[in-house]
């Protein structure tokens, strides 16, 4: 064997690295301490500006093949939850969820994220006079990470940030990730769009007139009990939009007034929609 | 070769019973079934006509199932309701090689170890029973009334988490439905979204 463990310093370092890698792998093995993801707390800027909203984010780096969940997890699982520990005067807002993906889970479909995601949260800061010391922001994050099996986990994260004048705020090394994440947020559907939904038998037919033909459209409901999440969503391009057929959920026990959620349109990105549902049978008028 | 044929046949059967329109619906007669338990006894749904029957989809390695067993919640429900005449079947639909698929002997040891007291644990490695009822998650709960009508399907309670502390403040839909039905009232919440891990059916 050509591998000389007792050779020069370079080889020794390689051996040490190999050993470290092996022991790290051993620690990451499911039997001992399965986590399958890493959570860190990031800030968009190196400091907080007083009396305004600053953005921080929980960064999930997820092991290949595993996923976490959107606010509506789909057929199984649950979204991450956060308990903030903030100094007096600071307030954390709600998580802004980037558009999810459809993730097959045996015979089900989950809505979530693979690879990684930044869950951004606005923090409202008090006037400067309130704090001269660096501010410690901490959180306990509970999550469920799944592949073909699921593992619950808890992460404790923290971040210390000084206050700085608004003019002299410096972007942090994570600023690009914050900008990129904002582009994945569902935007309000433009007012010029015409969106409607038809309740027809066991289906909803969702029509979006965006002004241009769309080839791809995927609907993610806010409520997991509205459509059959695992059913395919055939999309038909129209001259000025797209039509998507959804299967009604077995859990719908009374007529649904609106179809609410997020539609992801190919290259255009994700949009928040709330479409009134018309019944298939309309008499008179 | 033989093994491949067997798997193919099981898959075909699974496909046949997984057609969505065949899945059980609340208000309809519960589909009849025959299944073998971990002691080798065969149970037929029709032999329990005249009694309430609870079906509990189970996978001991699923964190949501674990929540209800580590807390003792599921065991108390089984104890309470079987004492009141209910037939309680724990059903395992995990396919061979997938999480939660266990041998009869292993399951019997587990039942003893955690102090569970279902009427029986039904083994459904082909997923046939699971697909017949449309079971999606572990846990996923079904209640059949003495007339053989499905009167509840869905979650065990209204706190869809893995957190044991939530059991204390949760509304248990199974107990609520059984209480109401036994008092001669309609079940106020007959259908809910089940929560948990996906049932590990053969793909």
Last residue within a domain, chosen from A129, A159, A182:
A182
Q: Domain check: are A59 and A111 in the same one?
A: yes
Sorted by sequence, the CB contacts under 8 Å of residue A68 that are 6+ apart come out as A37, A60, A62, A79, A80, A112, A113, A117, A143, A144, A145, A146
> What is the model's pLDDT at position A27?
35
Q: For B129-175, what is each residue's pLDDT tens digit? A: 999 999 999 999 999 999 999 999 999 999 999 999 999 999 999 99
- Is the confidence at residue A168, as pLDDT, over 90? no
Please check whether residues A126 and A82 belong to one and the same domain. Answer: yes
Angstrom distance (rounded) from CA A95 to CA A84: 12
Task: Note the pLDDT of residue B108.
Answer: 98
Inform me whether the C-beta atom of residue B12 falls under 8 Å from chain A C-beta atoms. no
A259 and A215 in a single domain? The answer is: yes
* Residue-level pLDDT at B71: 97
For residues A178 and A191, membership in a common domain is answered with no
Is B68's pLDDT higher than 90? yes
Q: What is the pLDDT of residue B85?
A: 98
CATH code, B2-198: 3.40.30.10
CATH of the domain at A140: 2.60.40.1250
Position A164 scores a pLDDT of 86
Per residue in A191-230, pLDDT (tens digit) is 999 999 999 899 999 999 999 999 999 999 999 899 999 9
For the residues of B24-86, what is the DSSP string, one character each? --TTSBPPP-EEEBTTS-EEEGGGGTTS-EEEEE--TTSHHHHHHHHTSHHHHHHHHHHHTT-
Residue A33 has pLDDT above 80, yes or no: no
Is it the case that residue A177 has pLDDT exceeding 90?
A: yes
Q: What is the pLDDT of residues A10-26, one digit of tens each?
A: 433 343 333 333 333 33
Cβ neighbours of A152 in B, within 8 Å: 63, 162
DSSP-assigned states of every residue in A198-214: EEETTEEEEEEE-SS--
| CA distances from residue B89 to A230, B32, B119 in whole angstroms, order as listed | 27, 14, 6
- Is the minimum CB–CB distance between B23 and chain A shorter than 8 Å? yes
Alpha-carbon gap, residue B105 to A239, rounded angstroms: 62
Instruction: Tell me how far the alpha carbon of residue A117 is from its chain's centroid.
Output: 6
| Closest Cβ opposite residue A225 in set B193, B196, B199 | B193
Pinpoint the alpha helices (H) of chain A: 9-28, 175-182
Does the residue A5 lie in any domain?
no
Say which of B63, B195, B198 has its CB closest to residue A152.
Answer: B63
How many Cβ atoms sit within 10 Å of the Cβ of residue A249?
21
Q: Residue A250 and residue B25: Cβ atoms within 8 Å?
A: yes
Is residue B18 scored above 60 in pLDDT? no
- Asked which of A162, A182, A202 is the last residue of a domain, the reply is A182
Chain B from 33 to 62: CB within 8 A of any A CB: 61-62
Asked if residues A68 and A192 have their Cβ atoms less than 8 Å apart, the reply is: no
Burial class from Cβ neighbours inside 10 Å (0-12, 13-18, 19+) for residue A196 reads middle
Task: Please check whether residue A145 touches B, CB under 8 A.
Answer: no
CA dist B189 and B174 (Å) reads 10
Q: Domain span at residue A84?
A: 34-182
Over 50: is that where the pLDDT of A32 sits? no
Examine the domain organization and report whether A117 and A196 are in the same domain.
no
Please check whether residues A113 and A246 belong to one and the same domain: no
* Domain chopping of chain B, boundaries: 2-198
Which token pair is B59?
A: 């996978």
User: What CATH number is associated with residue A248?
Assistant: 2.60.40
Contacts with A51 (C-beta within 8 Å, 6 or more apart), sequence order: A125, A126, A127, A128
Rounded CA-CA distance B133/A110 in Å is: 20
Query: What is the overall mean pLDDT for chain B?
Result: 90
**What are the tens digits of pLDDT across the range A109-129?**
999 999 999 999 999 988 765
Query: At B43, is the pLDDT very low, low, confident or very high (cuts 50, 70, 90)?
Result: very high
Q: Number of residue pairs across A and B with CB atoms under 8 Å?
A: 61
3-state secondary structure A28-95: HCCCCCCCCEEEEEEECECCECCCCEEEEEEEEEECCCCEEEEEEEECCCCCCEEEEECCCCCEECCC
Would you call A142 an interface residue with chain B, using a CB distance cutoff of 8 Å? Answer: yes
Question: Is the domain of A131 the same as that of A173?
Answer: yes
DSSP B198: E
Tell me, yes or no, whether A27 lies in a domain: no
Indicate the residue among A182, A215, A232 that finishes a domain: A182
Q: Is B139 an interface residue toward A (CB < 8 Å)?
A: no
Assign A49 a pLDDT band (cuts: 50, 70, 90). confident
Cα distance between residue A63 and residue A78, in whole Å: 18
* pLDDT tens digits, one per residue of A51-97: 889 999 999 999 999 999 999 999 999 999 999 999 988 999 999 99
Q: Are B78 and B115 in contact (CB under 8 A)?
A: no
B189 touches chain A (CB under 8 A): no
How much is the ipTM here? 0.76
Q: Which of A66, A67, A78 to mutate against chain B (most B CBs within 10 Å)?
A: A78
A222 touches chain B (CB under 8 A): no
């Amino acid at each position: 064997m050509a591998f000389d463990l007792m050779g020069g310093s370079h080889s020794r370092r390689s051996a040490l690295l190999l050993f470290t890698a092996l022991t790290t792998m051993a620690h990451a093995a499911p039997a001992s301490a399965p986590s399958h993801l890493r959570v860190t707390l990031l800030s968009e800027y190196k400091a907080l500006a007083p009396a305004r909203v600053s953005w921080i984010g929980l960064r999930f780096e997820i092991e290949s093949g595993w996923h976490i969940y959107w606010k509506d997890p789909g057929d199984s699982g649950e979204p991450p939850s956060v308990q903030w520990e903030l100094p007096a005067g600071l307030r954390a807002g709600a998580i802004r969820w980037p558009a999810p993906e459809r993730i097959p889970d045996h015979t089900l479909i989950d809505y979530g994220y693979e690879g990684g995601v930044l869950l951004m949260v606005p923090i409202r800061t008090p006037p400067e006079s309130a704090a001269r010391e660096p501010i410690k922001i901490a959180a306990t994050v509970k999550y469920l990470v799944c592949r073909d099996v699921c593992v619950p986990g808890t992460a404790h994260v923290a971040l210390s940030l000084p206050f700085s004048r608004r003019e002299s705020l410096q972007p942090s090394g994570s600023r690009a990730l914050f900008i990129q994440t904002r582009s994945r947020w569902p935007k309000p559907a433009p007012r010029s769009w015409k969106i409607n939904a038809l309740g027809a038998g066991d289906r909803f037919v969702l029509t979006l007139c965006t002004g241009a033909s769309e080839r791809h459209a995927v609907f993610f409901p806010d409520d997991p009990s509205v459509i059959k999440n695992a059913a395919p969503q055939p999309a038909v391009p129209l001259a000025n939009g797209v039509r998507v057929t959804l299967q009604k959920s077995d859990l719908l026990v009374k007529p649904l007034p609106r179809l609410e959620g997020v539609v992801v349109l190919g290259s255009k990105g994700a949009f928040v929609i709330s479409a009134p549902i018309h019944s298939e049978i309309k008499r008179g008028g | 070769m033989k093994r491949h044929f067997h798997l193919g046949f099981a898959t075909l059967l699974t496909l046949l019973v997984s057609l969505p329109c065949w899945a059980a619906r609340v208000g309809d007669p519960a589909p009849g079934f025959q299944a073998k338990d971990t002691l080798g006894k065969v149970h037929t749904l029709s032999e329990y006509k005249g009694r309430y029957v609870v079906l509990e989809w189970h996978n001991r390695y699923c964190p949501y199932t674990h929540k209800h067993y580590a807390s003792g919640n599921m065991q108390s429900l089984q104890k309470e309701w079987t004492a009141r005449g209910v037939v309680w079947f724990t059903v395992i639909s995990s396919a061979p090689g997938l999480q939660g698929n266990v041998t009869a002997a292993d399951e019997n040891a587990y039942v003893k170890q955690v102090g569970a007291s279902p009427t029986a644990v039904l083994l459904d490695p082909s997923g046939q029973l699971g697909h017949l009822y449309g079971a999606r998650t572990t846990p996923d709960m079904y209640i059949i009334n003495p007339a053989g009508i499905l009167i509840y399907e869905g979650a065990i309670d209204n706190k869809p988490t893995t957190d044991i502390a939530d059991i204390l403040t949760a509304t248990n839909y199974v107990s609520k439905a059984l209480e109401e039905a036994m008092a001669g009232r309609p079940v106020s919440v007959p259908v809910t979204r089940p929560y948990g891990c996906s049932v590990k059916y053969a793909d």
